[in-house]
Structure 1
Amino acid sequence: MTAQSTAKGTWPTLLILCGLFAVSFIDRMVLALVIDPIRAAMGVSDTQMGLLFGMGFVVVYVLAGLPLAHLVDKGGRKRILTIGVLLWSAATFLSGLATSFWMLVVLRAGVAVGEAVLMPIAMSMIFDLFPRDRRAFPVTLYTMTGVVMGKASFLVGAGALTLAAHIIPFTGGEPWRIMFMLVALPGPVLILLFAFFGRDPARRVDAEEGEAADQRVDTRALLTHLLSRKAIYLPIFIGTGCIFMVGLGLSAWTPTMLVREHGIPVTSAAVYYASYGMVGGVLGMISVGFLVKRLGRDNGARGVFLTALLVTALTLPILAMTIGSPDIDTVMIGIGVGTFGVMGATTFVPHLLQQITPRALIGRTTAIYLLFNNFLGMGMGPLLVSAVAGRYEGQPGSVGTAMTVVSWGALSVALTCFAFALASLIRRRPPAPANAGLAT
């Protein structure tokens, strides 16, 4: 494939994929802004809303992602992407028309199934759109879109709620219902742009990447390797999952906590959380990523891991100590520092896996790591906060108290896991380079 043919249509395709990734975060996360209106309309509890936000999404997302990724590998990416985007957009739009909690559960599952196609298709297309020596920036741009939109989606949701308030005098209805309908609209627009300006590139062959046939190993080799280093891998997976539990618990419940316990409008709560969270998260990824590369270069995997342990120990306790404060400025500073820690402490994992995992196993090992993050983070974080808040229902500051309890608990487990894994890493011989083979 020539440079000229690679360039034609490549950047419009990448930008549309980034736009779809941004929209997927919006449609996934804006539920956090309307928890109380939905509770009032449907007569449900905080725990049910925690299930809807977390487990109700992530179980379907993970289970659907496995067969859908297989379909993506077989071909027809453009068609599969179109169906997925239209499905999650329709499910988001219809959420505004839901008349029962169980309708919302089904529609939330529809959002999960639709969004499950995006990541494998985007990564596959980026691989084929760009040669290896030009791929770093597109991958970084795509992943950073997710990092930013994890918090910026709340700004979009706040804008949609504000617009809904101006529309309701003409259409009637409730703001939260109009919000779902509004945020569902960009998806079909982007997929229409993709039909005209995007392209499904030809598949690149493995030979371009220098993949030797003897590096293609079976599942038994994967399990053998992971079990031989279970004292390192398992604490990493559980510890980072607990860090994401703190982060996703924050995302799901901070807006509601600010509304209930600090008396500010939901749109202001969204702006507060998004602003502090974006600044902290981006700074955390950039600065800790820089430290990880420097320390990892000099000290290998141990230096990488020590960086993560120190960042976790120095930042996340500040979040746990401040999130339940009656002073909103203290809360927001804690959220900024905590988000710095969440994003920073998890930045080390890709670097660490490259140092301790054979090249032929990195993809599947990363997939297992993401499974832990999804179930412990997205699945359990929002649910645990809502369950603990239910124990304090009727008491002032119940959600803030719940977030404090969950943050301290998850932080304690994460630090214990990281310390155990670091000790196991120190006891082992220095690991061989990741491409040195599968010998342990």
Structure 2
Amino acid sequence: MPAKKIFPYENKMLILLTFTFGFVLFDRMALNFLVPFFDKELGLNNTQIGLLASLLALAWAISGYAIGTLSDKTGKRKQYLIISVAIFSACSFISGLAASFAFLLVARIIMGFSEGPVLPLAHSIMVSASAEKRRGFNMGFMQSFGSNLLGTMLAPVILVALATNYGWRNAFFIAGVPGLILATLGFFMIKEIPVFVKEKKQKANVADLFKYRNVWVAIILSGCMMTWMFAQITFMPKFLIAIKHFSEEDMGKTMAAYGLGSIIWGAVVPALSDKLGRKPVVIFFFLMSMIMPLSVVYAGDTFSAVAPLVILGATTMGCFPIVLATIPSETVPRQFLAQTLGMIMGIGELIGGFAAPAIAGWSADKFGLQAPFLIAAGAVLLAGFIGFLLIETGPVKLRNKGALATIQTV
């Protein structure tokens, strides 16, 4: 009996899904950290580097919405999740076989199609497994902790070390192994979520979802956040080595500092939003995160000068789960949640994941490698102003105001 209380199904899902999404980001970000090791071998320019990130994001956006919607209708979230995890893990291995830009591009596009559904499916499973009092914490922790620990803090250190000692191809091969293990564990551990007849009859089209103001505001904020993230992360390793003249080791440590900041703010920002409200917290920390891209460009040329400011300015990473999961889950009916999350993330990916790296890559070739970082700073400046359009959903703030649980629409 005590064992059941200590480690119930809710906690099992929290751990499993946290590491599952963590390795999604680990594999996705591997390309960025390994670019300095293979760009010359494959003859890549900045525009092509941007396209590798952009087209993966386009595939991610399409599949995230499509599979999220399909899973809401069929209830087969476990099945889709396991298949997705297995495929993206295989694509990491395939990336290590690349001998040309075209081959690598195809591998990353397939990876994008398989990774896109993971987060909306994982959130839907986590919501159903969570007690109401832990729902916000579980969703924030699941999205932020594993992805920041594995995708942004440990990935640069591990992958750079592997590439330095064993070659970039072996780094890609090894990166795919954990996902296959997690897919196997998920097959045995996840309980399929039943779809009730009443919920099956209800349908939400895109127009219905856009009636909720928080949905379309979250879409804009999602695009801004992802622009901030991918415009700079795609080019930061190359910028640090080519412009700042960092060693590969210091580049890896600087990227790890970004991961450390992401972990810290990934815990602090959602916790503050529980106490102070979602809206004021995301506005403040959006604006604060301008520090990171500007410090990369304008701070000194040493690790000790750049890394502390990168940690301080990684605050948008704490806003991700609030905007992409918590606010939508407090806004729309649960039977439409995976579809809504898939749409918010999908359109955000189109803006910030697809368009931003391509534009940033072109800008880097045209105006210099500092351009992507200025684009990133502008994106979160815009997000800070757009955040004023949010309708507050924080339970504490609503109780203090005596508000109804139902969130207003447009």
Using the size of structure 2 for normalisation, the TM-score is 0.79
Matches of 2:210 and 2:116, distance apart in 1:
29
Closer/same/farther in 2, CA of residues 58 and 233 from structure 1, 3 Å limit: same
Q: Which residue of 1 aligns with 2:280?
A: 306
Q: Which residue of 2 aligns with 1:167?
A: none
Closer/same/farther in 2, CA of residues 434 and 154 from structure 1, 3 Å limit: farther
1:358–1:434 contact (8 Å) kept in structure 2: no
Give the C-alpha shift of residue 25 in structure 1: 1.5
Closer/same/farther in 2, CA of residues 78 and 6 from structure 1, 3 Å limit: farther
Closer/same/farther in 2, CA of residues 376 and 189 from structure 1, 3 Å limit: same
Question: Which residue among 193, 199, 210 is the counterpart of 1:203?
Answer: 193
Matches of 2:318 and 2:141, distance apart in 1:
18
Closer/same/farther in 2, CA of residues 66 and 219 from structure 1, 3 Å limit: closer
Q: Which residue of 2 aligns with 1:184?
A: 176
Matches within 5 A, 1:7-26: 14-26=14-26
One-letter amino acid matched to 2:175 = V
1:359–1:434 contact (8 Å) kept in structure 2: no
Give the C-alpha shift of residue 243 in structure 1: 3.2
Matches within 5 A, 1:6-405: 14-53=14-53, 55-70=54-69, 72-73=71-72, 74=74, 79-127=79-127, 129=129, 138-143=138-143, 144-152=145-153, 153-164=155-166, 175-194=167-186, 198-204=188-194, 216=202, 218-219=204-205, 222=208, 225-226=211-212, 229=213, 234=216, 236-275=218-257, 277-296=258-277, 304-313=278-287, 315-325=288-298, 326-328=300-302, 329-340=304-315, 342-346=316-320, 348-349=322-323, 353=328, 357=331, 359=333, 363=337, 365-392=340-367, 398-399=368-369, 401-405=370-374
Which runs of no fewer than 5 residues in structure 2 stay unpaired?
392-400
2:210–2:216 contact (8 Å) kept in structure 1: no
Closer/same/farther in 2, CA of residues 31 and 310 from structure 1, 3 Å limit: same
Which deviations, in whole Å up to 9, do the C-alpha atoms of 1:323-364 show, x marking residues without a partner? Answer: 213423333233222212x12455653565567x45469735
Which deviations, in whole Å up to 9, do the C-alpha atoms of 1:180-228 show, x marking residues without a partner? Answer: 1121222223334445xx3342535669xxxx97x956438725724xx
Matches of 1:13 and 1:290, distance apart in 2:
21
Which deviations, in whole Å up to 9, do the C-alpha atoms of 1:31-53 show, x marking residues without a partner? Answer: 01222333212222111111102
Matches of 2:9 and 2:30, distance apart in 1:
32
Matches of 2:79 and 2:332, distance apart in 1:
34
Structure 2 residue matching 1:324: 3-state secondary structure: helix
Q: Which residue of 2 aligns with 1:168?
A: none
- Indicate whether 1:409 and 2:392 are aligned: no
- Indicate whether 1:433 and 2:409 are aligned: no
Structure 1 residue matching 2:98: 3-state secondary structure: coil
Give the C-alpha shift of residue 131 in structure 1: 5.5
Matches of 1:262 and 1:92, distance apart in 2:
29
One-letter amino acid matched to 1:271 = K
1:216–1:360 contact (8 Å) kept in structure 2: no
Which runs of no fewer than 5 residues in structure 1 stay unpaired?
165-174, 297-303, 393-397, 424-429
Give the C-alpha shift of residue 23 in structure 1: 2.0
Closer/same/farther in 2, CA of residues 386 and 354 from structure 1, 3 Å limit: same
One-letter amino acid matched to 2:182 = L
Which deviations, in whole Å up to 9, do the C-alpha atoms of 1:13-72 show, x marking residues without a partner? Answer: 65343333222221111101222333212222111111102x211111122233433554
Larger relative CO (CA 8 A, sep 6+): 1 or 2?
2
Structure 1 residue matching 2:297: 3-state secondary structure: coil
Closer/same/farther in 2, CA of residues 382 and 149 from structure 1, 3 Å limit: farther
Percent of paired sites with the same residue: 22
Give the C-alpha shift of residue 405 in structure 1: 2.5
Give the C-alpha shift of residue 102 in structure 1: 0.9
Matches of 1:14 and 1:351, distance apart in 2:
15
Give the C-alpha shift of residue 82 in structure 1: 4.2
One-letter amino acid matched to 1:318 = I
1:58–1:374 contact (8 Å) kept in structure 2: yes
Using the size of structure 1 for normalisation, the TM-score is 0.75
Matches of 1:271 and 1:280, distance apart in 2:
12
2:23–2:151 contact (8 Å) kept in structure 1: no
What is the aligned-residue RMSD (CA, Å)?
A: 3.9
Matches of 2:349 and 2:405, distance apart in 1:
25
Matches of 2:217 and 2:66, distance apart in 1:
28
Number of residue-to-residue matches in the alignment: 394
Deviation larger for 152-161 or 44-53: 152-161
1:89–1:187 contact (8 Å) kept in structure 2: yes
Closer/same/farther in 2, CA of residues 12 and 44 from structure 1, 3 Å limit: same
Structure 1 residue matching 2:235: 3-state secondary structure: helix
